[in-house]
Amino acid sequence: MKKIYGSAAEALDGLLFDGMFIAAGGFGLCGIPELLLDAIKDAGTKDLTFASNNAGVDDFGIGILLQTKQVKKMISSYVGENAEFMRQYLSGELELEFNPQGTLAERMRAGGAGIPGFYTKTGVGTVIADGKEHKDFNGQTYIMEEGIFADLAIVKAWKADTTGNLIFRKTARNFNVPAATCGKICVAEVEEIVPAGTLDPDAIHLPGIYVHRIIEGAHEKRIEQRTTRKKESA
């Protein structure tokens, strides 16, 4: 089965449709599948629902799809760096389902494992629990959260081999692994593709069985919040 494609547009060919549900990897501005997001923007696919830890910033990550009004709903943990996100949400143009960060990661992981739902204490007694099933275990109250089953998963990795095994670097590993597993189809963009057998099996973070299509490309290394201090004088 062909896994390596020449471009993001080619890798997404035949997969996109209006109203689809996409799980996207990335944490802050680390590990964002920027090339695939650009291709989705160019394709004009609309009414999208995204499950993603955050929405990038105004001109990067999912933020570029917010600018073009292609996103209908976000399932996220943190959206504080995106002014357009805030504007659309407050004006009623964008649906938002807030999830505690660990809950969102577990919902993705559960979907990837075929688990339709699970109980957690996180969110009990808050608006997060509104409308959700409550159940007591050993005198403690839990709420039920549903696993995420997406039409498509898009992720960004550091290295892949030709069979689709992936390695992520540092913070970029956050959310990319669970996001990749919960999509019916997973498309990965990577910085480097190496021959099969090159990667140390013990270093692989995501087995190639989860990855259906791969592209290689150059990526922008953005810093979300730059904090510096003046150099002390001698």
More confident residue, 144 or 222: 144
Q: What is the DSSP string of 1-37?
A: ---B-SSHHHHHTTT--TT-EEEE--BTTBT--HHHH
Among 45-54, 64-73, 82-91, 122-131, where is mean pLDDT lowest?
82-91
Looking at residue 200, its amino acid is D
pLDDT class of 234 with cuts at 50, 70, 90? low
Banded pLDDT at 9 (limits 50, 70, 90): very high
Per-residue model confidence (pLDDT) at position 17: 98
Lowest mean pLDDT across 15-29, 50-64, 192-206: 50-64
pTM given for the model: 0.92
Task: For residue 38, report the phi and psi dihedrals to the nearest 5 degrees.
Answer: -60, -40
Check pLDDT > 80 for residue 222. no
Q: How far is the C-alpha of 51 from the C-alpha of 23, rounded, in Å?
A: 5
* Confidence class for position 92, pLDDT limits 50, 70, 90: very high
**Residue 58 predicted with pLDDT over 90:** no
- Tokens for 19, please give them: 């109203």
SS3 content of the chain, % helix, strand, coil (to 5): 25, 30, 45
